[in-house]
Amino acid sequence: MNKKITVVGAGNVGTTTAQLIAEKGLGDVVLIDIMEGIPQGKALDILEACPVWGSSSKVTGTNSYQDTAGSDIVVITAGLARKPGMSRDDLLFANTDIMKQVAASVAEASPEAIIIVVTNPMDAMAQVVQKVTGFPRERVIGMGGVLDTSRMRSFIAMESGAHPKDIHAVVLGGHGDLMVPVRSLTTVKGEHISKVLSDDVINAIIERTKGGGAEIVGLLKTGSAYYAPAASSVEMIETILGLKKELLPCAVYLEGEYGISGVYVGAPVQLGAGGLEKVVQLELTDDEQKALHASADSVRGLIEKIGI
């Protein structure tokens, strides 16, 4: 029996996520949105592509959470997207209200689901969802670090000419301006990045990674990134389903790991059938450790603003 995967939000991120799930045949997909006709039409379009992909996934669109009942995995992409000049934090209050409504509906319809939060500001929104649902931390996970790490690997590949699969990188901390690309653990074909690229280039890559989302928003002008966020969410789904065994940097509720407690922040984790299986402790430099704590404090500040 196929897994049931619900995607909340039929915008660009949600629709692309639904498409990739169906294309890969990871399960049956329910695409839900408040706009009548939009999730139904997009779901039907994706379903009609499944024979071309050789996929047997069933794809349905709906405006009712009743149709999402019993979902194994729920990906939340609903919310306002960034516009030029906006930070992820500018979305805080508007998207908090949306998350509260979505989280309550998901918890009622699918009380055993694993939730992947994509909506920005992602770390804070994950904490809102966990608080509202009352789910254990293992079953509410933010996507941010997977995306940020993919961006960093892309930029390193552009500068070094290496294949992305030969590049190891990890970005920790909040999915915002204070994210922490871990330079000390970044390698290209097994060699430390400092042996492959100059300090100036490495520093430029780190800054570009931190501003990766804003760069795309600035270019698009009327929208934000969706291909890479969707692909990152799907990689998490594949890992939860046991199809991949990657160590992924995800936003999780820390309980003392890295000396941080009581807040969602990006850390390397093992995912599995129950969601979060283990937070992995990496050896960080003192500067990286300090930067991670500063990033966590920034997320904590957002949480205090919204009173969660």
Taken as a whole, the chain contains a residue count of: 308
Active site residue 192: no
Domain 4-143, CATH: 3.40.50.720
Output helix, strand, coil percentages for the chain, rounded to the nearest 5: 50, 20, 30
- CA distances (Å), 235 to each of 85, 130, 150, 255, in order? 30, 21, 11, 25
Arithmetic mean of pLDDT, 119-127: 95
Tell me the per-residue pLDDT of 24-49, one tens digit each, with 9 for 90 and over: 999 999 999 999 999 999 999 999 99
Catalytic, out of 163, 168, 175, 293? 175
Determine if the pTM surpasses 0.75: yes
Report the alpha-carbon distance of residue 59 to residue 57 in Å, rounded: 6
The tens digit of pLDDT for each residue in 133-162 reads 999 999 999 998 999 999 999 999 999 999
Q: What stretch(es) of the chain map to CATH 3.40.50.720?
A: 4-143
Which class does domain 145-306 fall in? Answer: alpha beta
Query: Which part of the chain has CATH 3.90.110.10?
Result: 145-306
